[in-house]
Amino acid sequence: MDKFDFKREFKEVYSPPAKDFSLTEIPPFRYLAVDGKGDPGTAQEFSDAVSALYPLAYTLKMTGKKNGGPDFVVGPMSATWRSKDKSAFVTGDRDNWEWTVMLPLPDWITDEQIAEARESVAARKNPAALSLVCAMTLNEGLCIQILYRGPYVDEAPVLARMHNEFMPEHGLDFNGDHHEIYLSDPGRTAPEKLKTILRQPVRRIS
């Protein structure tokens, strides 16, 4: 049996165009998640969150496979971002961003499996944020998406067009947190070649 791969199974969700914004209905997804606050480039909280999520996800993958269960590709990391001031994402006021960093979970993973995997990871390396990891379901519904290429810190002009041009022109309003899906490994990819899906849940107002 082929490994379950989120990007293959949900091509429309993970393959938006790069030139134009698109409207896509996003189905509910379950995630391993950690909440925090601060600039992702400098906040220790963000680094700790990532360092807890990956060992837990890979332990779930390998334990399930060892026990004869279905195998899966660990999906791309993503994060939702929120701020009391919506303009913070355009102005780049990153220190006041609140976030939830996430890895997608296949539907068959149970809470019991997560608890067992957490104990296994704690026994081996016990990352600082391991106790903060929870399972959550995110149901975003109708969303604007675009594939952005370039450094994370240079996203603001694209988001400004999304918020100030595309949304008003199409009678749309905010309906959830700004969401970014990271398709590239920043440790192995030049900043100008990074690929990120920029997503905004919306609702129709006209």
pLDDT at res. 104: 97
What average pLDDT does range 92-105 have in this prediction? Answer: 86
Is the residue at 1 inside a domain? no
Please indicate, yes or no, if residue 58 is contained in any of the structural domains.
yes
Q: Using the predicted structure, report yes or no on whether residue 7 has a pLDDT greater than 90.
A: yes
pLDDT at 1 over 60: no
What mean pLDDT is predicted for residues 118-126?
A: 94
pLDDT digits (tens, 9 = 90+) for 60-96: 999 988 888 899 999 999 999 987 766 666 666 677 7
Render pLDDT for 172-203 as a digit per residue (tens, 0 to 9).
999 999 999 999 988 899 999 999 999 999 99
- CATH number (domain holding residue 31): 3.20.80.10
pLDDT at residue number 196: 97
Q: Say if 179 falls within a structural domain.
A: yes
The DSSP secondary structure of 68-110, one letter per residue, reads T---BPPPPPEEEEE-SSTTHHHHT-GGG-EEEEEEEE-TT--
Domain for residue 180, yes or no?
yes
C-alpha triplet 132, 59, 34: angle, nearest 5°: 20
pLDDT at res. 150: 96
In tens, the pLDDT along 144-154 reads 999 999 998 89
How many structural domains are present in the chain? 1
pLDDT score for 115: 96
Residue 10 has a pLDDT of: 96
Kindly state whether residue 48 falls inside one of the protein's structural domains: yes
Q: The tokens of 20 are what?
A: 């134009």
| 16 part of a folded domain | yes
Range of the domain at 68: 6-204
